[in-house]
Amino acid sequence: MFSTEEKIKIALKVQEVLQKTNHPELNKDGKEINFLLHVDGEEGWSWANIQNNANRYGHVPMELIRNTTV
């Protein structure tokens, strides 16, 4: 759904928003906050999983991996 460059840009913005919350349960040492954002498109086959950039190839729960055969 999104290009690799778009996913990287989105991940950077999400990272920035999360860090600005200063939430006590999130990383305070300057490391990236781990997150996984699932975005649904208009069609059932249109979706994207976006992770923080340091964890781009990390685990994605099966519930967030759509079956592309309709």
The pLDDT averaged over each successive group of 10 residues in the chain (70 residues) is 94 94 86 90 90 77 61
Cβ-based neighbours of 10, under 8 Å, separated by 6 or more: 2, 37, 50
Q: What distance in Å separates the CA atoms of residue 46 and residue 24, rounded to the nearest whole number?
A: 35
> What integer pLDDT is reported at residue 66 of this predicted model?
62
Q: What is the pTM of this model?
A: 0.77
Domain range list for the chain: 4-64
> What integer pLDDT is reported at residue 69 of this predicted model?
43
First to last CA, the chain: 17
> What integer pLDDT is reported at residue 67 of this predicted model?
56
Element (DSSP H or E) covering residue 40: strand 36-40
> What integer pLDDT is reported at residue 68 of this predicted model?
47
> What integer pLDDT is reported at residue 50 of this predicted model?
92
Alpha helices (H) in 1-70, listed in sequence order: 4-20
